């Protein structure tokens, strides 16, 4: 399980001293609990003989000392172990976010959203339990078994080994039996949980489509199928666990009974030594908890194993990136040089030798039939995808060398910008977290949202969702545009930002976009010819090639095809 692991082992090593102290304190807690019962048992028996006060002074002090020691050690143990576990899991979560964030495009393509959600929400939680519920109790119970055997060995080695045998039943046999019975079921539960995450996320993302097509029942059925099977399987597991724990407790009950029998036989004959009988009979009771939690923790092993496997399967894309450069202060030209691209070896070539040079501040509209690869071309420009051959260059340097500083070079506005459930100002400030209020308002004014935002109940501090204030499609795009203004990247990629807007809103948004982005280099993927006359160049991407390329006015004058498409788009024919 841990052979190829690169998630748990490094953290075990990194925080080994915290782990050592939490285990030591855990053992000390139970030692104090056992010793408290031992001295109490002795004290009760001893006091029954009405000894002199001075004689009972030592056991009284010891009882007090162990009575105080137990909660103190327990408190320190909780503090240390939780500190340790929270450090480990927070480090893991950070690592997971970094793995996902650095190659977001790769993960979006290769994993279902629900699958990633289950990693974030579930698997790291399981690893946390692997530490707290399996490793921790097993080591503590193992340490206690050793101490109990050594302690009893002082009196009688033969009997100590018998007790060790009974302890091993609780420590090894019962958990192993539980694991044997539960292994397949737990693996199925893990798979079902993952499936439930995936199904529910898929179903929820397509919720409006289910509703529009009146398939609510099918939605419920698809979304709850895995969850129902999971609930049934969990119920069966619970029943089994009850029986397993019952058998474990019965086996453990044999230990105090054996101790009572043994101490009575050994010490019962003398008036003085009889005091030890109560001590040995009571000592095991508080230790029962340390042993019973082992079976529960180990029983979840297949779940932990699944979670660890799931995390370890998460290897970043094998896409080799060249050495990374710092962002240039200015970008004079974006160049595509004989760019070819296919998604995989079996897929046909989608882009077949595209050459393009965009000068600083130039505006280019990219058009073409659906599915011809316009969005793909934008991803190649961004460096999300690597050209099969040819190069995308920023002032002669490959764009792949700027992946670490991408937000300083590129801003993207697509069809559906996301508004987070926070204030309007915070949503805009995503473009630049250090922007002042004045800069946020200036950006809102530039995109003509200032009056609308000022009229909201709390102005720019109004929560986007909670105030029940829903932005229209055009307003969402304007908010995202304000973000881009704060981001202040030299190159802006627009991927059909006006899709779904009515013609008047569309024209108004296009006018605002070109007004506020006048100093930027803009590559605009659009499905409309309306508004492209604001651009310096219009390109048509068809069958992997740029089939039309030129200034809009020139094309209107020289290309019959362009005139035909223009008339079609304007609804004139």
Ligand X SMILES: Nc1ncnc2c1ncn2[C@@H]1O[C@H](COP(=O)(O)OP(=O)(O)OP(=O)(O)O)[C@@H](O)[C@H]1O
List of residues contacting ligand X (CB under 6 A): 109, 343, 347, 350, 368, 370-376
Pairing status of strand 363-367 against strand 521-525: parallel
Q: Are 446 and 485 in contact (CB under 8 A)?
A: yes
Q: C-beta of 204: minimal distance to ligand X in Å?
A: 22
- Residue closer to ligand X by CB (options 377, 424) is 377
- Residue closer to ligand X by CB (options 196, 367) is 367
Ramachandran class of 500: left when φ > 0, alpha when ψ lies in -120 to 50, beta otherwise? left
Q: C-beta of 347: minimal distance to ligand X in Å?
A: 6
- Residue closer to ligand X by CB (options 389, 458) is 389
| End-to-end Cα separation, the chain, in angstroms | 68
- Residue closer to ligand X by CB (options 262, 341) is 341
- Residue closer to ligand X by CB (options 395, 543) is 543
Q: C-beta of 492: minimal distance to ligand X in Å?
A: 17
DSSP 8-state code for residue 423: B
What SS3 class is residue 541? strand
Q: Are 352 and 545 in contact (CB under 8 A)?
A: yes
DSSP string, 224-249: HHHHHHHHHHHHHHHHHHHHHHHHHH
Q: Which helix (H) or strand (E) holds 515?
A: helix 503-516
Q: C-beta of 101: minimal distance to ligand X in Å?
A: 19
- Residue closer to ligand X by CB (options 182, 495) is 495
Ramachandran class of 502: left when φ > 0, alpha when ψ lies in -120 to 50, beta otherwise? beta
Q: C-beta of 523: minimal distance to ligand X in Å?
A: 13
- Residue closer to ligand X by CB (options 35, 116) is 116
Q: C-beta of 342: minimal distance to ligand X in Å?
A: 9
- Residue closer to ligand X by CB (options 135, 366) is 366
Q: C-beta of 372: minimal distance to ligand X in Å?
A: 4
CB atoms within 10 A of CB 519: 10
Please, how many CA atoms are within 13 Å of residue 146, restricted to the half-sphere of its CB?
Answer: 7
List all residues 6 or more positions away from 460 whose beta carbon is below 8 Å from its beta carbon. Answer: 423, 424, 425, 428, 437, 440, 441, 444, 453
Q: Are 181 and 91 in contact (CB under 8 A)?
A: no
Q: C-beta of 377: minimal distance to ligand X in Å?
A: 7
Rounded to whole angstroms, the Cα distance separating 227 from 555 reads 58
Q: Are 1 and 308 in contact (CB under 8 A)?
A: yes
- Residue closer to ligand X by CB (options 103, 123) is 103
Rounded to whole angstroms, the Cα distance separating 465 from 476 reads 13
Q: C-beta of 451: minimal distance to ligand X in Å?
A: 34
Q: Are 485 and 431 in contact (CB under 8 A)?
A: yes
């Amino acid at each position: 399980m841990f052979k190829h692991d690169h998630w748990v082992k490094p953290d075990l090593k990194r925080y080994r001293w915290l782990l050592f102290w939490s285990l030591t304190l855990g053992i000390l807690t139970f030692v104090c609990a056992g010793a408290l019962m031992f001295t109490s048992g002795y004290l009760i028996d001893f006091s029954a003989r009405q000894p002199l006060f001075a004689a009972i002074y030592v056991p009284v002090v010891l009882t007090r000392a162990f009575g105080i020691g137990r909660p103190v050690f327990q408190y320190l143990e909780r503090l240390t172990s939780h500190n340790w576990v929270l450090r480990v899991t927070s480090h893991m979560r950070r690592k997971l976010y970094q793995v996902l964030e650095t190659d977001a495009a790769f993960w979006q393509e290769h994993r279902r959203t629900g699958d990633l959600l289950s990693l974030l929400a579930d698997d790291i939680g399981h690893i946390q339990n692997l530490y707290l519920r399996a490793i921790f109790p097993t080591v503590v119970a193992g340490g206690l078994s050793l101490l109990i055997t050594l302690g009893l060995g002082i009196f009688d080695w033969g009997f100590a080994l018998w007790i060790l045998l009974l302890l091993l039943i609780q420590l090894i046999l019962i958990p192993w039996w539980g694991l044997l019975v539960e292994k397949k079921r737990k693996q199925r539960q893990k798979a079902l949980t993952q499936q439930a995450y995936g199904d529910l996320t898929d179903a929820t993302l397509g919720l409006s489509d289910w509703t529009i097509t009146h398939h609510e029942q099918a939605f419920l059925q698809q979304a709850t199928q895995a969850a129902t099977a999971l609930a049934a399987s969990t119920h069966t597991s619970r029943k089994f666990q009850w029986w397993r724990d019952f058998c474990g407790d019965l086996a453990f009950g044999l230990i105090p009974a054996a101790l009572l029998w043994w101490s009575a036989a050994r010490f019962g004959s003398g008036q003085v030594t009889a005091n030890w009988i109560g001590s040995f009979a009571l000592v095991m009771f508080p230790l029962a908890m340390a042993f019973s939690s082992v079976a529960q923790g180990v029983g979840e092993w297949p779940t932990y194993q699944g979670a660890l496997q799931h995390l370890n399967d998460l290897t970043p894309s094998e896409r080799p990136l060249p050495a990374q450069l710092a962002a240039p202060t200015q970008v004079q030209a974006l160049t595509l040089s004989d760019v070819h691209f296919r998604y995989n070896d079996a897929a046909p070539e989608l882009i077949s030798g595209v050459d393009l040079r965009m000068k600083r501040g130039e505006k280019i509209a990219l058009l073409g039939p659906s599915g011809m690869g316009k969005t793909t071309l934008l991803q190649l420009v961004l460096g999300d995808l690597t050209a099969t051959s040819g190069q995308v260059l920023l002032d002669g340097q490959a764009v792949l060398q700027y992946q670490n500083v991408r937000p300083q070079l590129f801003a993207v506005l697509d069809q559906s910008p996301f508004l987070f459930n926070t204030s309007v100002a915070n949503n805009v400030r995503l473009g630049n977290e250090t922007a002042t209020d004045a800069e946020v308002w200036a950006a809102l004014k530039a995109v003509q949202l200032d009056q609308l935002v000022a009229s909201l109940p709390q102005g720019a501090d109004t929560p986007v969702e909670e105030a029940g204030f829903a932005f229209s499609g055009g307003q969402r795009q304007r908010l995202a545009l304000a973000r881009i203004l704060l981001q202040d990247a030299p190159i802006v990629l627009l991927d059909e930002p006006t899709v779904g807007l009515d013609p008047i809103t569309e024209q108004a948004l296009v006018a605002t976009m070109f007004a506020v982005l006048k100093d930027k280099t803009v590559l605009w993927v659009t499905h409309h010819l309306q508004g492209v006359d604001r651009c310096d160049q219009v390109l048509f991407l068809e069958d992997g090639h740029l089939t039309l390329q030129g200034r809009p006015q020139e094309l209107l004058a020289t290309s019959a095809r362009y005139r035909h498409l223009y008339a079609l788009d304007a609804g004139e024919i």
